[in-house]
A and B are shown apart, each in its own frame.
Chain A
Amino acid sequence: VASRYQITCAAELESLAAFRELINSACRQHPQVDRQTCYDLQLAVDEACTNVITHGYAGMNPGSIILALVFVPQQVLVTITDFGHPFEPYEPPVPDVQAGLEDLPMGGFGLFFIYQAMDEISYRTAEDGNHLTFLKRLGPIPGK
C-alpha cells in the first residue's frame, strides 16, 4: 500500500518551511521512518527547492514548485516539479574545508548534502516541467 502526499507552493524562499512541514507530518504517520531519515528528506528537499527558487526561476516570472511524496513499506519516493530553467544536478566533489575558509566553495554544499542524504537521484525535463526525483530506502542499509 502506498500513501501519497502533495503540496504546491510559490517558488519563493518563504515556501521552504511549508515543504519541510509536509515531510515532517507525513513522516510522523510512518513509524518505519526514523528521525534521521526524516531529517535527510527535509534537507535534500530544502536544498533542491532553494536551487530551483534562486537559479531555476532566475529572470523569470515567479512560478510554482510541486512537491510529491510517496511512502511504500521499504522506501520513500520524492518528486520535485518546477517550470523554470532546467538544472540537472551533479555530484560535487567532497568540500575540502581544511583547504582554508577563504577558498571554501560554499555553493557546493547544497548538492553535496542532497547526494549524502539520498540513495538515488534522477532528473527529467519534459513539456510538463522539470522533474527531480529522489529515492530514500528505509531500514538498515549496509555501509550507508
Chain B
Amino acid sequence: VEIQEKKVDQTLVVSVVGSIDAHTAEQVLSFLRQRVSGGQSQFVLDLGQVDFMSSAGLRVIVDILRKSRNQGGDLRLASAQGGVENTLVISGFTRVIKTYPTVEAAVGSFGSE
C-alpha cells in the first residue's frame, strides 16, 4: 500500500493507494497515529484509489476518528467508491462519519464551520 499526504490549511489530506486489509491496515494506522501524536487533528482520508477495504480498515478509521475528535478535530472520508463505499454504507459508518464525494469538498467542509 502507498500513502501520500498533503497539507491544505489546517487539514491533512491522506491518500491511500491500493488495498487496506489486515496486513496493510497496520501501515495506514501507524502513519496516521504518528500524525495525531504530532498534533494534527483535522484529517481527510482520501479513499479514491483504494480498490479494497476489509473490516481492518474500519478499525483504522474508528481509531483515528476517536483520537482526532478527542483533540478537537475530526476525520472525514472522501471519494470512496464501488465496493469500498458499499462497505461503509452497510456497516453504518456513513451515519457517524462525514463522507464527501471529492477531496475538495471534504477539505472545504472544515473551513465552512
Contacts and interface: CB of A to CB of B under 8 A. Distances in A.
Interface of A: 13-14, 16-17, 20, 35-36, 39-40, 42-43, 46-47, 50, 53-54, 94-98, 101-102, 104, 106, 109-110, 112-113, 116
A109 B58 contact: yes
B23 A17 contact: yes
Contacts of A110: 54-55
A74 B55 CA distance: 28
A50 B58 CA distance: 14
Contacts, number: 78
Interface residues on B, range: 20 to 34
B93 A97 contact: yes
Overall SS of chain A's interface: helix
Contacts of B91: 95, 97, 109, 112-113
Contacts of A42: 52, 83
Nearest to A94: B92
A104 B96 CA distance: 12
Given A98-B92, A101-B96, A106 B21 contact: no
